[in-house]
Structure 1
């Protein structure tokens, strides 16, 4: 989601998106072409909106230079912790 946003919404190249995410251009290409990452998205159910909102915010902050790859990883960790708490409420 983030890689696609960086390229489609913020018009970054795959190389620049890869640099911002701390990965390779080849990995970004796979995300953009849905060969990696989004295949299981339909299984996220009720937490999908939280994931989408966090991904959109992270892409925006990466594109603007507000955060770097390390800070984005921190944001992902915070998201995982929030999702764990949210999933507990579904049980």
Structure 2
């Protein structure tokens, strides 16, 4: 669970940087969005592995604690990508 929290914090930080750079339309925006996508992908892979390899009760707890936050972050990353496409 701690590993997932660390990965979530990293992915969220990458997203925030990407959102800020995309909003400012800096030359780094595309790279930052890519980094956010990679961090999200790493988080999702670790989440799926944790759910699959844990005891069923633990897997359910991981899903309830982390699953919603991942979906929210995933939607936010998609929104930044769409914002970038509009420019």
Q: What TM-score do the two structures reach when normalised by structure 1?
A: 0.31
Query: Which structure has the greater CA radius of gyration?
Result: 2
Greater helix proportion: 2
Q: What TM-score do the two structures reach when normalised by structure 2?
A: 0.32
